[in-house]
Amino acid sequence: MRPLLLLTVLLLAACTEATASRVDDRTFRIEGPGVPGGSEGPNRRLASRVCPKGYRVLDSETHKGGPDRATDDLNEMTVWTIRCIL
């Protein structure tokens, strides 16, 4: 019973985390849940993990309906495009 509960908790936590995908050599796209308070910066922990020397935000967008906007989900989804500094 405990392993099943632990697995359920881990799956729920994974659904609310931000994810990063590579666009080109130094550019990444970070998708995550909406940030409380309307912050305009990306998920700093994930951004510093993919760009340890720093980053610059190129684009930011917030919308409802999940990553592809195909669902009727009312939660906000925030997408940042960042470029790593050399």
Domain range spanning residue 31? 2-84
Q: Is the pTM of this model over 0.75?
A: no
Tens place of pLDDT per residue across the chain (86 aa): 667 666 565 555 545 578 889 999 999 999 888 766 666 677 888 889 999 999 999 998 887 766 556 666 677 788 889 999 98
User: Would you list the DSSP string of 2-61?
Assistant: HHHHHHHHHHHHHHTS-EEEE-SSSEEEEEEEPPTT---S--HHHHHHH-TT-EEEEEEE
How many domains is the chain built from?
1
